[in-house]
Amino acid sequence: MTDLNKQFIEQITQAKEQNTSLHICGGNSKSFLVDIDKAQEVDELSTEGHSGIINYLPSELTITVRSGTPLIEVQQALADKGQMLPFEPPMYDEKSTIGGVIASGLSGARRPFSGSVRDFVLGTEVINGKAELLRFGGEVMKNVAGYDVSRLMVGAQGRLGLISSVSLKVLPVSEKEQSIAIEMASEQFFDTVQQWMQQSYPLSAAVYYGEKAYFRFSASESFIEQIIKNISSKFSGLLSPVDNQFWSQINNQTHDFFKDASNRNLLKVLLPMYLKEVFSKEFAPKEAMQIIDWGGACRWLYTVQSIESIRQHAEIFEGTAQVFRDNGQYSSSCVREHPRANAIAQLEMRIQQQFDPQKIFNRHYAN
């Protein structure tokens, strides 16, 4: 339980005065997500040790945490009270911090059914490039005073400043969670997700991999019992139980599928959920391997197709493709993130400029 804000402000002030650049890092579990320009000299600003739960009020469904707090600690504290982070953030490494969760904005399998990281952010305390400690939002559910800077920090990857602490909305864990796998063709997976969502089935995860669809339900015991009964009669003989552990393997990328990431490039393709008609042709040619996550809205993909052609396909459907894990093949020749329209890219630069005029936090980012 230490607060290192004073130290951070000193370090940023010094960087300002000496015109040096700082790389913010938490547990370093997601450092593979940003490409650093090695030509730039950069010092580290670590949130390690800046940890502790500042305020947790289970009856209010809110928790406020220092950014250097390990994610695992936050999850434990919530689990003790029967609550959870509803966006199911991935934990690639046990050192993963809550600050990194917010800055990367990554959500797990529950995301399409309960919301993303930013949906649950209520407030942040931030230190900007002028070394000013600022608070936006708060611990209340609703706040429309001023611009929503707290949510802007989510996924900004430290480009706008240091997240010092964050207040999040949390939710109670369901009475029961049960997972099943059903053998089916991928087309049928999309239709099944649609049908079940239309029927308000309590889906909390839906993944397709290796000729099987995996579903998780979260609800009361009696409702789940009823659902499983319905499904069993419809898919009799094709159903098998699945350990809930399966979802952390998907979220944390410890599932066998992700082992290949050590020698191939792993793409993350975000699409509208229901794109059945183009699914196999455009995104998963025969030689490709993929996990369809988020009920269809997120695809983890290994492919020999060029990133450009994948991006072109994705754009037709308002989708994007990111080189999520890269083995050096791509980063030299193309942009890791899906390129933004020029007007948007310019606007993002101007926003960065207003938070960090001297480019202390992002000078060293490649691209």
Positions 157 through 176 that interact with another protein (CB under 8 A): 159-160, 171-172
CB of 261 or CB of 351, closer to another protein: 351
Q: Which two tokens stand for residue 125?
A: 């305390």
347 binds another protein (CB under 8 A): yes
Q: Is 272 in the site for another protein (CB under 8 A)?
A: yes
Does the protein bind another protein through residue 232 (CB under 8 A)? no
Question: Per rule CB under 8 A, is residue 89 in the interface with another protein?
Answer: no
Binding mask 295-314 for another protein (x = CB under 8 A): --xx----------------
Return the DSSP state at 174. Answer: P
* Position 310, amino acid: I
Contacting residues for 344 by C-beta, under 8 A, at least 6 apart: none
As beta bridge partners, residue 269 has: 299, 321
Q: Are 29 and 36 in contact (CB under 8 A)?
A: no
d(CA 183, CA 243): 16
35 and 365 Cβ atoms separated by less than 8 Å? yes
Looking at residues 22 to 81 of the shown chain, list those that interact with another protein (rule: CB under 8 A): 57-62
Q: Which of 72, 317, 331, 366 binds another protein (CB under 8 A)?
A: 317
Q: Binder to another protein among 69, 128, 186, 204 (CB under 8 A)? A: 128
Nearest distance in Å: CB 345, another protein: 8
C-alpha to C-alpha distance for 119 and 177, rounded to whole angstroms: 22
Phi, psi of 204 (to 5 degrees): -130, 0
Which DSSP category does 184 fall into? -
Q: Which is nearer to another protein, 17 or 60 (CB)?
A: 60
Binds another protein (CB under 8 A): choice among 146, 237, 241, 328: 146
Question: Would you say 68 or 86 has its CB closer to another protein?
Answer: 86
Site for another protein in 175-204 (CB under 8 A): 194, 197-200, 202
According to CB under 8 A, which one of 170, 181, 219, 310 is a site residue for another protein? 219
Q: Which of 5, 93, 184, 223 binds another protein (CB under 8 A)?
A: 223
Residue 177: CA count within 13 A, CB half-sphere: 15
Only segment of 127-135, 180-188, 229-237, 251-259 that touches another protein (CB under 8 A):
127-135
DSSP 305: S
Q: Looking at beta carbons only, is 48 or 223 nearer to another protein?
A: 223
SS3 percent helix, strand, coil of the chain, rounded to 5, is 35, 25, 40
DSSP codes joined into one string, 329-352: TTTTTS-SSPPPPHHHHHHHHHHH
Contact between 9 and another protein per CB under 8 A: no
Q: Tell me the window of 20-28, 65-73, 94-102, 144-152 that interacts with another protein (CB under 8 A).
A: 144-152
Report in angstroms how near the CB of residue 259 gets to another protein at its nearest: 26
Tokens of 13: 């002030």
